[in-house]
């Protein structure tokens, strides 16, 4: 009997044996505020009387309550939830008459903003004025940080949008009167379980969760974790610097980058460090990004046959990290990202020529002259073969998580990682000789044959480029991990689900008397959790 069948039967059995105690509950609730001791053993004596009185009570409540209910809805029921996010995140629950029913501070900064403000009962425009005024006064909004996100949650979309527009106008007016050109992002949201989960998981507002989700729809290089710690202004800058078109979000004004050194100075800092001039390079990328909450410019350019990557501190102009990498004739997809067509052409034409650029002593990568011809390399397949043989693992039971050609101490090597059964293996294989240079293995966390990972570990797929790997890929990952083919399994089931704000695929199948179940991240293909149960 499968787990699910056992649970289904259990659920049915309880559902059919649960007694009906509603009458006892209703009579027990007669006096609010006072718990009435239960006369459980005598309940049946008064059964019909209790049913009749309970039914009568419900009827009276239903008929007599209609007028009262409308009045209640108008003045006390939550009609809209307004989110104001800068870094302080504030949520206002508002009645249909636009009175504040409740204010909520989403984060510590907001606690300071709302401190000593008694907004309950005031009108929405008064509350918004007070909050924006306090944000200006406390320096959360100013010339260096001029972004604000306005979110209206209302089940009536038209009403929500109308309110959104009014709030944007109102806030623009307040900022203008303080001589500030604001950049206002605004949106109207309806019920959305995914967003709700995201906001709960990370302790952020629904509005910010929606903004992050919107950015991640186009920006596959970042994860939710990368973005939750950023302020609205930083998110606004990140999306504008990366050319992200925010769907469902209306943007007005330009986010100020006055707090940072700017792209030109960032490029200059990188060029100075590399000992190059702007005439000698072909610029491939320059953009503002955040790494561990630190703002940095990512600068990438090519000079001759060398690719330069720099991370420049966006405040100070200091070089945070850099990498100079020689380009090769037959660069594998793992070795470097595909170069632009012009750059590729020049590298192909003269792969062995020395870099025309002076390399500094601190350069991590060797100069192009050191690069061996690609034909000298053993190749990925051979490297994988060597790795498996060294670990004593059969090819059909291994799932590779990394095969990457890289440089180390002037030599090329393959970094290889895979797992098999309950073990993870990592090896470094000399790319020319095939010698194993480093070998390490570790047991995957095991608890009674159930594998649970607190943080996602990589699986066979490299970071996915799309938001969803698809059912087939999820199935493939699970089968690959279990080391079986589709033809060997029965009862295969792939379902898309949501867990902790994350889209996942639940994959289940049987191999003989063994049940497998997997939870796979729908965006990255990472195996989040898997279980194997032998029916013995």
Write down the least CB distance from residue 214 to another protein, Å: 19
Where in 65-124 is the site for another protein (CB under 8 A)? 69, 72
In angstroms, the Cα distances linking 434 to 366, 377, 431 are 20, 9, 6
Residue 196 touches another protein, criterion: CB under 8 A: yes
Residue 137 touches another protein, criterion: CB under 8 A: no
Specify the residue, 35 or 361, whose C-beta has the smaller distance to another protein: 35
Where in 38-57 is the site for another protein (CB under 8 A)? 38, 40, 57
SS (H, E, C) 47-69: HHHHHHHHHHHHHHHHHHHHHHH
Nearest to 75 by CA among 100, 102, 97: 97
Residue 193 touches another protein, criterion: CB under 8 A: yes
Buried b / exposed e along 519-536 (16+ C-beta atoms within 10 A): bbbbbbbbbbbbbebeee
Specify the residue, 279 or 448, whose C-beta has the smaller distance to another protein: 448
What is residue 351's three-state secondary structure?
Answer: coil
Write down the least CB distance from residue 30 to another protein, Å: 10
Write down the least CB distance from residue 4 to another protein, Å: 9
Pair type for strands 80-85 and 282-291: unpaired
326 touches 356 (CB < 8 A): no
Number of residues that bind another protein (CB under 8 A): 51
Instruction: Give the integer Cα–Cα distance in Å for 212 and 209.
Output: 5
Residue 443 touches another protein, criterion: CB under 8 A: no
Quick one: which of 130, 197, 254, 329 contacts another protein (CB under 8 A)? 197
Selected range binding another protein among 172-180, 193-201, 253-261, 307-315, rule: CB under 8 A: 193-201
What sign does the dihedral 188-192-194-199 (CA atoms) show? positive
Nearest to 137 by CA among 161, 172, 113: 113
Instruction: Give the integer Cα–Cα distance in Å for 91 and 162.
Output: 18
- Residues 169, 174, 180, 183, Cα dihedral to 10°: -30
Residue 496 touches another protein, criterion: CB under 8 A: no
Residue 535 touches another protein, criterion: CB under 8 A: yes
Residue 191 touches another protein, criterion: CB under 8 A: yes
Residue 279 touches another protein, criterion: CB under 8 A: no
Residue 143 touches another protein, criterion: CB under 8 A: no
Write down the least CB distance from residue 75 to another protein, Å: 12
Residues that bind another protein (CB under 8 A): 1, 3, 6-19, 21-22, 24-26, 28-29, 32-36, 38, 40, 57-58, 61-62, 69, 72, 191, 193, 196-197, 200, 447-450, 452, 499-500, 531, 533, 535
């Amino acid at each position: 009997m499968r787990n699910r069948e056992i649970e289904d039967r259990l659920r049915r059995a309880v559902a059919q044996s649960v007694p009906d105690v509603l009458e006892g509950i209703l009579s027990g609730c007669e006096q609010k505020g006072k718990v009435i001791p239960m006369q459980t053993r005598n309940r049946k004596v008064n059964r019909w009387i209790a049913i009749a009185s309970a039914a009568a009570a419900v009827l009276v409540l239903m008929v007599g309550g209609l007028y009262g209910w409308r009045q209640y809805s108008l003045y006390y029921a939550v009609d809209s939830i307004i989110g104001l996010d800068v870094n302080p995140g504030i949520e206002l629950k508002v009645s249909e008459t636009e009175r504040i029913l409740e204010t909520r501070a989403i984060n510590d900064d907001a606690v300071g903003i709302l401190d000593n403000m008694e907004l309950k009962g005031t009108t929405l425009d008064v509350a918004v004025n007070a909050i924006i005024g306090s944000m200006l006064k406390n320096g959360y909004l100013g010339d260096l940080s001029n972004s604000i996100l306005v979110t209206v949650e209302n089940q009536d979309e038209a009403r929500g949008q109308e309110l959104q527009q009014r709030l944007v106008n109102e806030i623009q007016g307040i900022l203008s009167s303080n001589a500030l050109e604001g950049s206002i992002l605004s949106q109207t949201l309806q019920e959305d379980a995914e967003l709700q989960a995201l906001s709960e998981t990370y302790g952020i507002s629904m509005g910010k969760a929606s903004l992050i989700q919107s950015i991640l729809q186009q920006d596959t290089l970042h994860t939710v974790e990368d973005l939750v710690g950023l302020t609205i202004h930083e998110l606004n800058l990140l999306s504008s610097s990366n050319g992200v078109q925010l769907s469902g979000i209306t943007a007005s004004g330009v986010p100020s980058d006055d707090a940072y050194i700017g792209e030109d100075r960032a490029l200059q800092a990188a060029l100075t460090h590399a000992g190059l001039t702007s005439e000698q390079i072909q610029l491939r990328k320059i953009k503002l990004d955040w790494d561990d909450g630190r703002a940095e410019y990512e600068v990438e350019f090519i000079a001759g046959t060398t690719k330069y990557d720099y991370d420049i501190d966006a405040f100070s102009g200091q070089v945070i990290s850099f990498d100079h990498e020689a380009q090769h004739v037959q660069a594998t997809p793992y070795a470097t990202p595909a170069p632009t067509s012009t750059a590729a052409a020049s590298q192909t034409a003269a792969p062995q020529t020395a870099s025309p650029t002076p390399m500094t002593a601190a350069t991590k990568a060797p100069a192009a002259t050191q690069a061996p011809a690609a034909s000298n390399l053993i190749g990925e397949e051979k490297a994988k073969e060597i790795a498996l043989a060294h670990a004593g693992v059969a090819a059909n039971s291994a799932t590779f998580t990394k095969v990457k050609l890289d440089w180390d101490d002037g030599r090329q090597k393959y970094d290889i990682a895979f797992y098999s059964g309950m073990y993870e293996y990592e090896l470094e294989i000399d790319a020319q000789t095939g010698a194993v240079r480093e070998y390490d293995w570790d047991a995957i966390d095991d608890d009674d044959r159930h594998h649970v990972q607190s943080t996602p570990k990589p699986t066979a797929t490299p970071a996915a480029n799309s938001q969803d790997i698809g059912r087939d890929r999820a199935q493939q990952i699970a089968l690959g991990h279990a080391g079986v083919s589709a033809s060997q399994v029965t009862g295969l089931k792939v379902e898309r689900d949501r867990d902790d704000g994350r889209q996942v695929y639940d994959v289940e199948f049987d191999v003989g008397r063994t049940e497998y179940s997997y939870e796979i991240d729908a965006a990255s293909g990472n195996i989040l959790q898997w279980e194997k149960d032998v029916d013995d």
